[in-house]
Amino acid sequence: QLGAGSQDSWVPHPAQPLADAMNLPPDKMKLLSQYDNEKKWELICDQERFQVKNPPSAYIQKLKSFVDTGGVSRKFKRRVQESTQVLRELEISLRTNYIGWVQEFLNEENKGLDVLLEYLAFAQCAVTTDNGSPGSDKGKSPNRSMEDLSKSNFSSPTHGTSKARHLTMRLAPVHSRKALRNSRIVSQKDDVHVCIMCLRAIMNYQSGFSLVMNHPACVNEITLSLNNKNPRTKALVLELLAAVCLVRGGHDIILAAFDNFKEVCGEKNRFEKLMEYFRNEDSNIDFMVACMQFINIVVHSVENMNFRVFLQYEFTHLGLDEYLERLRHTESDKLKVQIQAYLDNIFDVGALLEDTETKNAVLEHMEDLQELFSQLTEKLQDTENESMAKIAELEKQLSQTRRELETLRVRPAGMGGAGQGRDLPSPSTVCPLPPPVAAMMIPPPPPPLPHTEDTGSPNLPSQQQAPPSAPPPPPPLPGDDVIPPAPPLPEIGIPPPPPLSGLDGPAPPPPPPPPLGMPAGGISGPGAVASSGESTVKIKKPIQTKFRMPIFNWVALKPNQINGTVFNDLNDERVLQELDMNDFEEQFKTKAQGPSLNISTLKVKAVQKAPSKVTLIESNRAKNLAITLRKGGLSIDSICQAIQTYDLQGMSLDFLELLHRFVPTEYELTLIRKYEKDQRPLEELSDEDIFMIKFSKIPRLAERMNIMTFLGNFSDTAQLLMPQLNAIIAASISIKSSTKLRNILEIVLAFGNYMNSSKRGAAYGFRLQSLDALLEMKSTDRKQTLLHYIVRVINEKYPELTGFHTELHFLDKAGTVSLDSVLQDMRALQQGMELTRKEFMRQDDSQVLKDFLKANTEVMEKLQTDGKTAQEAYESAVEYFGENPKTNPPTMFFPVFGRFVKAYKKAEQDVELWRKEEAAAKEVESNPPSKQEPKSPVHKVKRQQMDMIAELKKKQMVKEPLIYEGGDGAIEDIISGKTTKVYPVNSEGESLGMDGGGGA
């Protein structure tokens, strides 16, 4: 006990040993050194309460005394009674004491690992000796047993030396018989199992793992522990070996350990004993699972595929495939999973060979097809080119022919009557055009209407005899197209417009003749609408048909849209007069029509027509309801019963959502009530009407259907909303709490003020979208942007900020979330939950509603809490960066950071690439003569030799001492990870190994 007065003078001295004992990381160590003396004193007092009971040397001395084979047998038996307890205490100390205690146990002075291995070898040497000489008698002397081992199946000096080296660790030449007897006594205890637990605790530390892996016999002794009779010990050993196998370089150590196992135990083939134990220990499922998992990992954690096939064949040769076939029907799910994992990873060499041959044949066939396709493509392209050339030429000819015809039409109008016949060719000499082209080029004159040939013509003949001195008129009217020589034509005048169909009474008098120069049809009057320019369009009246005709879906042009188009010169009314439209109506009228209607009596018949059958639903709605009911496949009573009992099992959610559209309207309810009030029979109604009547009888129908839809969609909606809320929360908090991001924004502000303050004044902040401008600001030589320069500055001056983006989480996911939509969905869920509660209060005997509320009330409360948290966190983050939450939704806010991070990473890559290019350029400048050396064959050979030496050195790196690069606790993480999931299928054969046994 120290007095308070000596506190100040005594505290600083034990502070460093205290920190060493606490095994603190450097940042915590720095924090500890800044504490005042009072705080340090409290830590020292707390640490003294947890002082270990025994130093490492005490355990080491006890273990050495257990290995000592001299003395009386009864004394040894008394020592054995306490050996297990000592080992258990040692395992607890190795697992729970601070790292300094473990390092002291393993240091050069104590050599605790060697002592522990020596006791492990002593504890199991009897079992190994008995198992290693299957034909020997247990009564033989140990020397004889060693002699048998040296002669069993291996006669080479190398194998004998190897066995002798390992056996000398087990049996001393003196008292060997007594040592073997004592070893049998120890092997009946749990000492071997606890020793493996001690080694596992040691390997869980970085320094201890490296020491174990570099020890020449440690992994070998662990592997030899498979001979122990306790299945728990075997399972523990296999789990530890499988974990070592997943560490980089550990696979080779494990195979070497099993090679040693083969020599010591006299196996004919490697893994022979392991397969024997696997077959015989079929009553212990845990051991079988561990064994199957180890086989899966040791075979399929190799990158070299040929080596994988070799290891796979080793176990196939030992009968693993046949045994797995028998184990397919095992009741253990864990064992089934491990077996299936092995079968999924297995390589079927025959199938792979067949697939390779098939692939080669398919590739050859595909090359032929590609070549044929290329030829056909070229041929098609040539054909298209030829066709395009021919079409272009024909278009030119057609255009030229049109111009010539137009010239022929215009020329007679400008010539005297005497000389017309000489210049124009006769009709027989003009090259005839195909009928379609002729019809398109020359608009035919309107044919004379029946019974109206001689009407309306007395006023027009004088206009056709215009004096020759008159200026040339515009293109002649259709009635004036006369090409001489021809027989004398009768007087042709402009006929009056035909009477409109459906109108009675005499035809209106013909309009006065147009003055010279006015085109036909350009007569304005009460029935014409003036268009742009000088043309007018006559208003067309609708045509009344005898039958209802289908709708022709076209986009019609208005009268003022056809000026200058082809439609300006078309006369569809004349065409209708020429055609028989009665046949057209018969063939194209809509279905379900009776005989043709007399237009004059249409109104009278419409008044007299009455429905022959009562319908409660509009026809299209009834059709849609019938389709929906057929799709549901349920009877009317089943549907009503399911809705009344909220039974989503008997009726699918999709069908329920379709029925929402057929909730009876007020008008339909009125018709239903009227129909029932009249007491009319249901047989007169269709199935849809009957359904609607029964459907309307369900109390609170709309509320029930809304509640059922809510019950069915709640789980999916909640699962959809939770990740979005989590993304918003994580992203908002991470960007607000990131100190590295804050420092980078500070750097950006500094550069911006440096560039702008002299002209625009100093700025105290900037909008986040200004980060995008970093990519737009280019240097003078236009080779880099301002962001590239900032990246260089950060790499050189602030290297601790380079990984700032690792502090920002879920930016991409949060950037896709519409927070307003999420909150709206949550309000909808809350309203649905309230509606469900009210309905349950009305119908408290509903088990469905009761179970739903019991199971999902907490889920709804958590959603509400997360929604409020997300909204507050987001608004806080947005306001933190000087933005307005109302005008900056997450879809705008988070992508700004996402783009900046992406651009920053790209700039880092560019800067690194430029640095390498500059270094390479400097190297070339410093060694200019080397430019000519690659041309020399001698240099090429030397270069190949250097590459080969580098490759060999790379391969020899595995021989170097294994470096444990991971943190403490990695072995436990690997083992726990293996036991919770199987070794994955990997088509490339890559191992799950870590760099030197780092974290799992």
In terms of domains, do 142 and 277 share one? yes
In terms of domains, do 379 and 253 share one? no
In terms of domains, do 374 and 328 share one? no
Whether residue 899 is predicted with pLDDT greater than 90 in this model: the reply is yes
Last residue of a domain, one of 314, 347, 380: 347
In terms of domains, do 604 and 624 share one? no
State how far the Cα of 991 lies from the Cα of 1000, in Å rounded to an integer. 12
Last residue of a domain, one of 366, 388, 410: 388
Q: What pLDDT sits at residue 841?
A: 86
State how far the Cα of 95 lies from the Cα of 202, in Å rounded to an integer. 8
pTM over 0.85: no
Mean pLDDT of 920-925: 86
> Which CATH number characterizes residue 774's domain?
1.20.58.2220
Asked whether residue 464 is domain-assigned, the answer is: no
In terms of domains, do 822 and 746 share one? yes
In terms of domains, do 724 and 825 share one? yes
Residue for token digits 């109390």?
699
Q: What pLDDT sits at residue 894?
A: 93
Mean pLDDT of 350-363: 86
Q: Give, in order, the Cα–Cα distances in Å from 931 to each of 919, 926, 928, 936.
A: 16, 11, 6, 10
State how far the Cα of 113 lies from the Cα of 119, in Å rounded to an integer. 10
In degrees rounded to 5, what are phi and psi of residue 53? Answer: -75, -45
The answer to whether 489 and 464 have CB atoms below 8 angstroms apart is no
Return the top range by mean pLDDT from 362-376, 705-719, 777-791: 362-376
Name beta bridge partners: 528: 538
State how far the Cα of 63 lies from the Cα of 112, in Å rounded to an integer. 9
In terms of domains, do 743 and 647 share one? no
Whether residue 816 is predicted with pLDDT greater than 80 in this model: the reply is yes
Whether residue 287 is predicted with pLDDT greater than 60 in this model: the reply is yes
* Secondary structure (DSSP) of 196-249: HHHHHHHHTSHHHHHHHHHSSSHHHHHHHGGG-S-HHHHHHHHHHHHHHHTBTT
Asked whether residue 786 is domain-assigned, the answer is: yes
In terms of domains, do 671 and 764 share one? no
Asked whether residue 926 is domain-assigned, the answer is: no
Mean pLDDT of 508-522: 45
Last residue of a domain, one of 579, 609, 639: 609
Mean pLDDT of 927-942: 53
Asked whether residue 459 is domain-assigned, the answer is: no
State how far the Cα of 605 lies from the Cα of 882, in Å rounded to an integer. 76
772 Cβ contact partners less than 8 Å away, ≥ 6 residues apart? 896, 899, 900
Mean pLDDT of 712-730: 87
Q: Name the pLDDT band for 257 (thresholds 50, 70, 90).
A: very high
Q: What pLDDT sits at residue 641?
A: 80
Question: For residue 271, what are its two tokens?
Answer: 């893994």
Write the pLDDT tens digit of every residue in 390-419.
Answer: 655 565 576 578 778 888 888 765 555 444
Q: Give, in order, the Cα–Cα distances in Å from 442 to each of 102, 139, 473, 714.
A: 111, 128, 19, 73
In terms of domains, do 93 and 118 share one? yes
| Percent of the chain residues topping a pLDDT of 70 | 60
Mean pLDDT of 764-778: 85
Number of domains into which the chain is organized: 6
Name beta bridge partners: 536: 530
190 Cβ contact partners less than 8 Å away, ≥ 6 residues apart? 84, 230
Whether residue 88 is predicted with pLDDT greater than 80 in this model: the reply is yes
> Which CATH number characterizes residue 340's domain?
1.25.10.10
Whether residue 737 is predicted with pLDDT greater than 80 in this model: the reply is yes
Residue 197: is it exposed, middle or buried by C-beta count within 10 angstroms (0-12/13-18/19+)? buried
State how far the Cα of 634 lies from the Cα of 557, in Å rounded to an integer. 50
- Domain range holding 779? 718-899
Q: What pLDDT sits at residue 186?
A: 56
Asked whether residue 582 is domain-assigned, the answer is: yes
Mean pLDDT of 580-595: 60
Q: Name the pLDDT band for 268 (thresholds 50, 70, 90).
A: very high
Asked whether residue 141 is domain-assigned, the answer is: yes
In degrees rounded to 5, what are phi and psi of residue 534? Answer: -105, -5
Asked whether residue 728 is domain-assigned, the answer is: yes
Asked whether residue 104 is domain-assigned, the answer is: yes
In terms of domains, do 326 and 381 share one? no
Q: What pLDDT sits at residue 372?
A: 93
Whether residue 501 is predicted with pLDDT greater than 70 in this model: the reply is no
In terms of domains, do 157 and 127 share one? yes
Q: Name the pLDDT band for 126 (thresholds 50, 70, 90).
A: low
Write the pLDDT tens digit of every residue in 135-163.
Answer: 333 433 333 333 333 333 333 333 333 44
Q: Name the pLDDT band for 299 (thresholds 50, 70, 90).
A: very high
Return the top range by mean pLDDT from 64-78, 260-274, 621-635, 648-662: 260-274
In terms of domains, do 107 and 252 share one? yes
Whether residue 649 is predicted with pLDDT greater than 60 in this model: the reply is yes
